[in-house]
Structure 1
Amino acid sequence: MKSLKFITAVMVFAAAVSASAAPLLNGLALEQQFNKDRYIAAVYSDTLADSAGVILDENTTRRLEIRVVADSLSARRLRNQWMEAIAINNSGSSLSAQADNMVTFANLFSGRLKKGDQLRIDFDGASGASTVSLNGIQLGRIEDRKFFTTLLRSWVGPVPPSTEFREGLLAAGDVDSGLLGRYELLEPTDARVLELSEANEENSEEEEQAESGSRPETEKPKPSKPKVAANIPPPSLASVAKPKAPATQQPAPASKPEPAQPRPQPKPARKAAQEVEEEEDQPLTADVLLARQIYHSMLLRHTYDFLQYPQRALERNQEGSIRIRVTIDPAGRVRDVQTVQASRFNDLNRAAVSAIKSASPYPKVPPALAKNDYEFSVPITFRLPD
């Protein structure tokens, strides 16, 4: 009888350990800009898979993690890049439903991340909650089962940062040993953890004082629910991965005259590796976030109308991913074009830049988004049909 009880106890303990076990490392991917390493991204999951459909299962315990490689990284620029990727990998209805959660998530980011910092988003498959932490310090918690999948789709959806980035995350546990070694060595210093802990305590105290000393309970404002404009469909980028007709068959836009010089004004001097970044003063709200996402999808689709697969690249079976940062003035005229991430093939890189220059002028910048220049990034994937 005692043996039976012992075996039962062991089985219960093993089941408890299994249930609480951390998810497994599914894949790693290195994020680069201007040929400089920025961070290593990781996807963990209870179920190892090379399929995005399996990893996106909303009932599976998963984790996203970013470990910073660069000496310094703008948290706000990282946030903005993430918001853009979310906008082009999720439907309009999903963006509208998750707008408030996205604002909550985005407002957790501030200042600059430093080398060794570990940003984690843990999803509990049982409760459906996502916990955001930095170097082990909890920043926030979002109680919405679909929120985590909305984030993850920006990495493994139809338009990831690059095809290599997506493939690295969908490795089903078969990760590159060299990249894994780098990833495991990236840890924050004790001084950095203490710095963040003290800053987090100060923020918590300020929030408590603001909540306790301002308005009576009866005067709590009701948050407005943002809406997605009905006449703007969610971005669909599947056609970008397929080559278009040869150059002789591409129709020229009839309503648009031949663009003049792509840079009518002197090009601003670039800072070293674009490391000096301006922080935006505009507070992020659900309405502003949705307006940016809608406008960004318009800019991308406008660009893709001018995109053409180079004939020589077709003949040589060349494929690749390019990401370009574009700056336009309020009227939509292109002021600056910078290749953030290039492919291995010059023909593809030139075709991507050419499409952006030909697309000028873009739709005008909505006054609510920017009074001066507006910056956005364009991911372009050249992929031959199967």
Structure 2
Amino acid sequence: MKSIKIVIALLVFATALSAKAAPLLNGLALEQQFNKDRYIAAVYSDTLGTSASVLLDNNTTRRLEVRIVADSLSARRFRNQWMEGIAINNPGDTLSSQAENMVTFANLFEGRLVKGDHLTVDFTAASGTTQVALNGVALGKIQNRDFFNTLLRAWIGPVPPSSDFRDGLLAAGQVPAGLLGSYEGLEPTSERVAAVTAQIAQVEEEPVAEEQVAAEKPQPTKPKLAAEIPPPSLAAIGSKPELKTQAPAAKPEPSKPQPAKVAAAKPSAPPQDSEEEEEFEAPLTADLILARQIYHSMLLRHTFKYIRYPKRAQERGQEGSVRLNVTIDSRGQVKDVQTLQESRFATLNREAREAVERAGPYPAAPPQLARDTYRFSVPITFRLPD
């Protein structure tokens, strides 16, 4: 009897430990732009896996973590890149249902992120809550069981920032020692933690005007997505780019922007660097976010029609991912193309840029997004069939 009691006690103790244990590191991925390291992304999960389906299990406690490598990083541009990934890796009904939650999430990001910062997004399976924090200081939370997967698909969905980025996160715990060492070595300074803590405390103490409270009441209806998301950006083997024809652009119905609830977290902002000048941005609303996502998916579909897999690259077994930053004017004319991330092969890099140039002019922006210039990123994957 005594031995049975001991076994039961050990089982209870082990269960208590496992209940409190943090999720395991599934994989790491280094994000680079213009050949400069920007941040290291991590995915943690109670269940390790090499497939997206394992990590997208809503019954599993998980965490996304970003540790900043760059000396200074625009929080808003980091957020916008994430939002683009959300747009092209989630179905239309998901984007519509999560529009208000995306507004709350997007408004957490202001100012600058600096080297050593830890941005964490924790999902608790028991409650279905997603909690966001910076350097251990809570920024806000979203009570929706499906929202975490909306974020995660941007990293491990069919069109990730790059194939290497997704593969690094889907490593089932087998991470490179060098990258792990760099990741673990990134820590915020005590001064930075104190500054973030003070900034958030100040925001939370600010009185809220009665007009603002009234404006923050949720609207009875949610905006609907008027366009579907494009297929993965795999270059078609043996295909020829489409002839230069300008198809009429489907535009989302213009709607009156609705005020959105602004989350409390606003990290302190170090001095801006010349490489990432801030641009004016209208206050985010659910309608505006959906308009961006619709338009971005439209621009990608348009680009994908002009991509071909170079014959020489096929013969040599060359594969890789290229990510471009494209700037167009109000008429859809291509004004600038920058390579954010390139493959190891010049042939693939050149074809990606030429595909964008062939695709011009692009569909004009909808009224909500009308401006002199519009910038968007294009992830292109060249992969041979197995």
Q: Name the CA distance, whole Å, in 2 between partners of 1:113 and 1:273.
A: 12
The residue that corresponds to 2:255 in the other structure is none
Which residue number in structure 2 is paired with residue 234 of structure 1?
229
Equivalent residue for 2:182?
182
1:166 aligns with 2:166: yes
> Which sits farther off after the overlay, 158-167 or 218-227?
218-227
Deviations 1:180-201 (A, max 9, x none): 0000010000000000000000
In the other structure, the counterpart of 2:107 is 107
C-alpha displacement of 1:224: 5.0
What TM-score do the two structures reach when normalised by structure 1? 0.89
Moved more, 275-284 or 361-370: 275-284
Q: Is the 8 A contact 1:348 1:382 kept in 2?
A: yes
Amino acid at match of 2:230: P
What's the CA shift for 1:217?
A: 8.6
Q: Is the 8 A contact 1:241 1:384 kept in 2?
A: no
Q: Is the 8 A contact 2:92 2:225 kept in 1?
A: no
Q: Work out the CA distance in 2 between the residues paired with 1:280 and 1:19.
A: 46
Contact 2:225 2:290 survives alignment (8 Å): no
1:252 CA displacement = 1.9
Which amino acid in the other structure matches residue 120 of structure 2? R
Query: Mean Cα displacement is larger for which, 170-179 or 304-313?
Result: 304-313
What is the letter of the counterpart of residue 89 of structure 1? Answer: N
- Rounded Cα–Cα distance in structure 1 between residues aligned with 2:382 and 2:212: 57
SS in 2 for 1:275: helix
For the residue of structure 2 that corresponds to 1:279, the secondary structure is coil
State the Cα RMSD in Å: 2.1
CA deviation profile, 1:42-67 (whole Å, cap 9, x unmatched): 00000111111111111111000000
Aligned to 1:326: 326
**Contact conserved, 1:243 with 1:385, CA < 8 A, in 2?**
no
Tell which deviates more after alignment, 10-19 or 183-192: 10-19
> Once the 2 structures are TM-superposed, how far is the Cα of residue 2 of structure 1 from its aligned partner?
6.0
Of 250, 253, 260 in structure 1, the residue corresponding to residue 244 of structure 2 is: 253
| Aligned residue in 1 for 2:43 | 43
Q: Following TM superposition, by how much is the alpha carbon of 1:18 offset from its aligned partner in structure 2, in angstroms? A: 0.7
Partner of 2:16, secondary structure, is helix
Contact 1:242/1:385 (<8 A) preserved: no
Q: Counterparts of 1:148 and 1:295 in 2: how far apart (Å)?
A: 23
* Count of residue correspondences: 362
Q: What aligned pairs does 1:26-175 form with structure 2 within 5 A after superposition?
A: 26-175=26-175
Measure how far apart 1:6 and its partner are: 4.7
Q: Do 2:327 and 2:334's aligned partners in 1 also have CA atoms closer than 8 Å?
A: yes
**What TM-score, normalized to structure 2?**
0.89
Change (3 A) 1:315 1:155: same
Structure 2 alignment gaps of length 5 or more: 248-271
Q: How far 1:277 moved relative to its partner?
A: 2.3
Matched AA of 1:352: A
User: Against the structure 1 CA distance between its residues 314 and 293, is the aligned structure 2 distance closer, same or farther, given a 3 Å change threshold?
Assistant: same
In the alignment, which of 210, 216, 239 is matched to residue 214 of structure 1?
210
Cα distance in 2 for residues equivalent to 1:302 and 1:12: 58
Return the letter of the residue paired with 1:25.
L
Q: Secondary structure at the match of 2:148?
A: helix
Q: Which amino acid is 1:197 matched to?
A: T
Distance 1:216 1:125, change over 3 A: closer
> Does the aligned pair in 2 maintain the 1:306–1:358 contact within 8 Å?
yes
Aligned mates of 1:64, 1:115 — CA distance in 2: 18
Deviation at 1:10, TM superposition (A): 3.1
**Whole-Å separation in 2 of the counterparts to 1:10 and 1:51:** 34
SS state at 1:145 partner: coil
Instruction: Find the counterpart in structure 1 of residue 15 from structure 2.
Output: 15
Shift of 1:218: 8.7
- Secondary structure of the 2:149 match is helix
The aligned amino acid for 2:94 is S
* Counterpart position of 2:258: none
Quick check: 1:323–1:377 contact (8 Å CA) kept in 2?
yes
Quote the offset at 1:286 in angstroms. 0.5
Distance 1:222 1:26 in 2: 37
- Between the aligned partners of 1:10 and 1:82, the Cα distance in structure 2 is 44
- Distance in 1, matches of 2:277 and 2:221, equals 32
Taking the aligned partners of 1:216 and 1:241, their CA distance within structure 2 comes to 46
Paired amino acid for 1:226: K
* Structure 2 match to 1:297: 297
Deviations 1:93-129 (A, max 9, x none): 0000111111101101110000000000011111111
Amino acid in structure 1 at the alignment position of 2:244? P
Q: What is the DSSP-based 3-state SS (H/G/I as helix, E as strand, rest coil) of the residue aligned with 2:369?
A: coil
Query: Is the CA contact (8 Å cut-off) linking 2:96 and 2:225 kept in structure 1?
Result: no
- Give the Cα separation in 2 of the matches to 1:145 and 1:161: 24
Deviation at 1:255, TM superposition (A): 5.3
CA 216–347 in structure 1, closer or farther in 2 if over 3 Å, else same: closer
Query: Aligned partner of 1:295: which letter?
Result: Y
Q: Which of 236, 239, 243 is the equivalent residue of 1:243?
A: 236
Is the Cα contact below 8 Å between 2:27 and 2:171 reproduced in 1? yes
Aligned residues of 2:32 and 2:39 also touching (Cα < 8 A): yes
Change (3 A) 1:14 1:363: same
**Residues of 2 paired with 1:301 and 1:274: CA distance?**
32
